[in-house]
Structure 1
Amino acid sequence: GESLAIIIADVDDFKLYNDTYGHLAGDSALKSIAEALSRACRPTDIIGRYGGDEFMLILPNTNEGGALKVAERLLERIAQLQFRPEPEAEIIPLHLAIGVALYPDDGTTKEELIAHADAALYESKARPVTEKKITLAHEEGTDAELLRYPTSAFGVLHGLVRTVDRKDHYTKRHSEREAEYAVLLGQALKLSSQSQRALRIAGLLHDLGKIGIPDHLLRKPGPLTETERSVMRQHVLLTERIVGGVPQLTDVLAAAANHHERYDGSGYPRGLKGEEIPLLGRILAIADAFSAMTMDRPYRKALSWSTAVQELRQNTGTQFDPAMVEAFINEVLPQIDQEKAKAA
């Protein structure tokens, strides 16, 4: 088969530039960068915008050596640009960080390649500006390399989680808390270690579908309109499609695909009711809600624990399984309180 390379390039510290000099200066800089990247590409290469300050390049018939040559040319072209945000202002240097993934070495699907390139980019961004910021997905000693072991499927999911985090930092923090709460509730209900493991993975992956939701909705500082809510709800089906493509994750899928169902049948995506909703889905629904309520969002401050508990009680039997709510309030929350006290 043919070789192919994916490059994801990110403008380092671009948010600082944008915030300091304004969006007009930022847009002008991005336009200059896009033009320079296009000139650095070969006629067969495909380039496009990928996120706010990121670009993706698809390099057909390109091996590792060819991809590195293109990546180095990209760095050189951007380093030569002179960014002057205002006519009399001093020249501000901007630099690229680059992640590279190769087909078929790093993956055989677009999802695998993008996840690996993104993880490699994450490594590049962590390097000091004095170093060349190019990382290969299979480069020894990087976090990106770990994606290849022990199973590529979990590696890809890990890469996708990081991709979502780059779009919306709240999602990763929320998912980690949700996973913790779900496992504790699973323990309180004396579920098997296999089910507890499924809850942990589901908690971390349940919002993967947000990778397909527009950034302006994820970060909107106010309530969503009905149309926007409809778009946002699609993340559950997108998550289901992504996780469903990974073998041996049946229990994880049951939890992640059903955490927005409601006990009274008014939830989504399928309107399941009561015990029609898989047990792990009912558990994840409570963990998801409590985590979301007690974290700051762009449009509201976090609720206090007592207010969040009151919300759980008020929605018992409508949104939540009553037995799960009682176990969460009586057994899980005291345990989290104890852990907090120890940490303090």
Structure 2
Amino acid sequence: MGVARKLYTQLRQPGHTYAFLVCLAGVSLFLLTINGSFFSYTMSDWVMIYAMGAAVIILDYFMFQLPPEGNRQSMDSSVFLAAIFVYGVSFSLFVLMISSVIIALSKRKVAWWKHLLNFSIYAFMIVGANVFYHMFGGITGAFQLDRAFAYLVSLAVYFIVNVLFVGYYYYLLYKGTLYEFIKNILKDTLFAYLSTLLLSIVLVILLVESKSFGLFLLLAIAMLLSHGFRQLFLMYNAVSEKANTDQRTGLYSHSYFEEKLDEYMKQAREQNVPLSLVMIDLDDFKKYNDAFGHPQGDRLLGFFGNLVKTECQPKDLFAARYGGEEFSIIMPGFTKAQAKTFVDTFRKKVNNTPFEGVEVFPHGCVSFSAGILEVNKETYDKSQLIDWADRALYAAKSKGKNTVFIYGEESRLPQSLANDINELEQQIKIFLSKDVYTFKHSKRVFSYAVDMAEVLNLNEEDRRLLVLGALIHDIGKLEIPRDILNKKSKLTHEEWEIVKKHVLWGKEIVSVSDKFKDLVPLVELHHERYDGKGYPHGYKGEEIPRLARMLCIIDSFDAMTTERPYQETRSFADALQEIRRCAGSQFDPELAELFIRCMEGKVAIDFTEAAAAQEPYEQDS
């Protein structure tokens, strides 16, 4: 029952049903056509059948490719056609049977049913060519110039049967338009089949005149031609590869990227599969160039290009150097969530890969910012795609760099609040030159605060206080000396006392502005603890304003999950477990539970997307 059910499941797929029916019909046609002719051949006939079968096997081994598309071609059809013209259809089918069995035994990695499907299609081609050859006056035996039209019609039928069978099979597998498939096959194989007809006629003449020696002579010529075509294809590939490759990074060039983007967009629309575009920019590359010179900058570009290629090749992603320190990746089969998972994993890997001179970078490592766009069905203009992905890239850079941003995922905030945010962002941008991690930490805490304002269902005024307070809560760290702020080893007691003063310095900075002095409680009290063991005043419980208690949770969560190069980052799940453990001591238990539930929902979504992102989208055949 299990085997029957499995067979039934396979046959429900259109491509498999088609292959099964073709195999069944092809084998039946073969048996009906040979019709006992096995016993009518002499020993010398069988020697020739085996010799021609061997020729087919050798020509299959010397299969070649033709530029520009590189479709695989073989001259074995010239042997089958010559066998029809000289010895008849049954003889040609026996040559097919012997060569197919030996090829199947030698290529065991190919599924058996594919060998059988190939055999069946060839059987239809041979029988069809024979029928029309005789229908138009062809006679078995020596070559006759006055019957040239019969040879031509026979080849045409042989060719058309192949195109129809193969074209329809790929149409069922990959959808699209049947006309397009057949047109592409005609374009790519017409030259090869015309060559096949000429070779088959040459073989007819040689077989009649010299039999085995004629076959050997034709085989030698065909092998030399196949070798010549192979060399031509390799030469074409080498020239094409050089023209389409950026020599400095080893990735594809900008112009080739533009050309391929059109193709991938068309393919995504026809096959109804997702497609994402990623634009990448190396962070602070000019600063590195200025510090070490252009030759070393070029080595950094080559180093990064190699990392991109190593990461993209196993997943068949198209990576190109877009220009300067900008790169682009076309990701067929990837949704925006899958693309973000892939790029974020790669970004962290780049952060953790050492390179000479990275100490000049604000993050202390090689880093990049990336913008992601998922192509939709309505999108038709590639320049618009690139522009949108660039906007997402710009948004990533504005968030402090070394981050990934998806186009269209900006926070929706009232215009008045957005204006205040922009004003405060200008003040905290000074951290970009002093401590980029504090800048990025502030931006992330701000993002979490936007989410929690929705969860807490805050009114407009409280929402403004929480969001703006989150953005500017660490402004007092501007007063901390740079060597303490960026110290990687454990702080001394004296240094820690200086760091703790940042909340009071922040209060002084914010109090200067009448517009934002209502943010003082959040700036001053976000390090107070629910159990009274925090600083600067040791407030506890509800002595601490509710929004400050919320900000304490958000601030601690982000501090636990902050990325640092060459260091392990605590996972979201671990950080949430720590907040749950400290609820009632460090954190307000009610607010902690609300935050945990909100973030667990996000983690669950991210986990689902990450699991889906392990493999790109696959369409059922």
Q: How would you bin the TM-score normalised by the shorter chain?
A: 0.5 to 0.7
Partner of 2:429: 162
Q: Displacement of 1:199 after TM fit?
A: 1.2
Structure 1 246/298 Cα, relative in aligned 2: closer, same or farther at 3 Å? farther
Aligned with residue 192 of structure 1, among 459, 463, 470: 459
Q: Displacement of 1:286 after TM fit?
A: 0.5
Q: Displacement of 1:215 after TM fit?
A: 1.0
Aligned with residue 551 of structure 2, among 284, 289, 299: 284
3-state SS, counterpart of residue 425 of structure 2: helix
Structure 1 228/334 Cα, relative in aligned 2: closer, same or farther at 3 Å? same
Q: Displacement of 1:320 after TM fit?
A: 0.4
Which 4+ runs in 1 deviate beyond 4 A? Answer: 12-20, 149-156, 339-344
Q: Is this contact kept in 2: 1:188–1:331, CA < 8 A?
A: yes
Partner of 1:310: 577
1:206 pairs with 2:463? no
1:294 pairs with 2:545? no
Matches within 5 A, 1:322-337: 322-335=589-602, 337=604
How far, CA to CA, are the matches of 1:340 and 1:170 in structure 2? 26
3-state SS, counterpart of residue 204 of structure 1: helix
Q: Is this contact kept in 2: 1:172–1:204, CA < 8 A?
A: no
Structure 1 256/19 Cα, relative in aligned 2: closer, same or farther at 3 Å? farther
1:236 pairs with 2:503? yes
Partner of 2:47: none
3-state SS, counterpart of residue 328 of structure 1: helix
Partner of 1:41: none
The structure richer in helix per residue is 2
1:254 pairs with 2:521? yes
3-state SS, counterpart of residue 577 of structure 2: helix
Structure 1 151/194 Cα, relative in aligned 2: closer, same or farther at 3 Å? closer
Q: Displacement of 1:316 after TM fit?
A: 1.1
How far, CA to CA, are the matches of 2:447 and 2:435 in structure 1? 20
Partner of 1:121: none
Identity %: 38
3-state SS, counterpart of residue 296 of structure 1: coil
Q: Displacement of 1:214 after TM fit?
A: 1.0
Deviations 1:97-155 (A, max 9, x none): xxxxxxxxxxxxxxxxxxxxxxxxxxxxxxxxxxxxxxxxxxxxxxxxxxxx9999977
Deviations 1:141-176 (A, max 9, x none): xxxxxxxx9999977643320112221111121111
3-state SS, counterpart of residue 317 of structure 1: coil
Q: Is this contact kept in 1: 2:522–2:551, CA < 8 A?
A: yes
Partner of 2:490: 223
Relative to the length of structure 1, the TM-score reads: 0.53
Q: Which amino acid aligns with 1:325?
A: A
Q: Displacement of 1:248 after TM fit?
A: 3.7
Q: Displacement of 1:197 after TM fit?
A: 1.9
Aligned residues: CA RMSD: 3.4
How far, CA to CA, are the matches of 2:590 and 2:417 in structure 1? 38
How far, CA to CA, are the matches of 2:456 and 2:424 in structure 1? 28
Q: Is this contact kept in 2: 1:167–1:215, CA < 8 A?
A: yes
Q: Displacement of 1:193 after TM fit?
A: 2.4
1:267 pairs with 2:534? yes
Bigger Rg, which one: 2
Matches within 5 A, 1:1-344: 157-297=424-564, 300-335=567-602, 337-338=604-605
Structure 1 291/156 Cα, relative in aligned 2: closer, same or farther at 3 Å? same
Q: Which amino acid aligns with 1:319?
A: Q
Deviations 1:292-341 (A, max 9, x none): 11112479532011110111012111110000110001134414654786
How far, CA to CA, are the matches of 2:550 and 2:556 in structure 1? 10
Question: How many equivalent residue pairs?
Answer: 209
Structure 1 341/217 Cα, relative in aligned 2: closer, same or farther at 3 Å? farther
Q: Which moved more, 1:183-192 or 1:281-290?
A: 183-192
How far, CA to CA, are the matches of 1:324 and 1:178 in structure 2? 16
Partner of 1:44: none
Q: Is this contact kept in 2: 1:175–1:205, CA < 8 A?
A: yes
How far, CA to CA, are the matches of 2:512 and 2:439 in structure 1? 21
Relative to the length of structure 2, the TM-score reads: 0.31
Structure 1 15/209 Cα, relative in aligned 2: closer, same or farther at 3 Å? farther
Structure 1 296/265 Cα, relative in aligned 2: closer, same or farther at 3 Å? same
How far, CA to CA, are the matches of 2:460 and 2:438 in structure 1? 26
Q: Is this contact kept in 1: 2:572–2:603, CA < 8 A?
A: no
Deviations 1:183-202 (A, max 9, x none): 32232222212212221111
Q: Is this contact kept in 1: 2:417–2:464, CA < 8 A?
A: no
3-state SS, counterpart of residue 284 of structure 1: helix
Structure 1 150/262 Cα, relative in aligned 2: closer, same or farther at 3 Å? closer
Deviations 1:188-237 (A, max 9, x none): 22221221222111111011111111111111112211111111111111
How far, CA to CA, are the matches of 1:151 and 1:283 in structure 2? 21
How far, CA to CA, are the matches of 1:19 and 1:223 in structure 2? 31
Structure 1 230/18 Cα, relative in aligned 2: closer, same or farther at 3 Å? farther
Structure 1 325/225 Cα, relative in aligned 2: closer, same or farther at 3 Å? same
3-state SS, counterpart of residue 525 of structure 2: coil
Q: Which moved more, 1:178-187 or 1:301-310?
A: 178-187
3-state SS, counterpart of residue 257 of structure 1: helix
Structure 1 218/247 Cα, relative in aligned 2: closer, same or farther at 3 Å? same
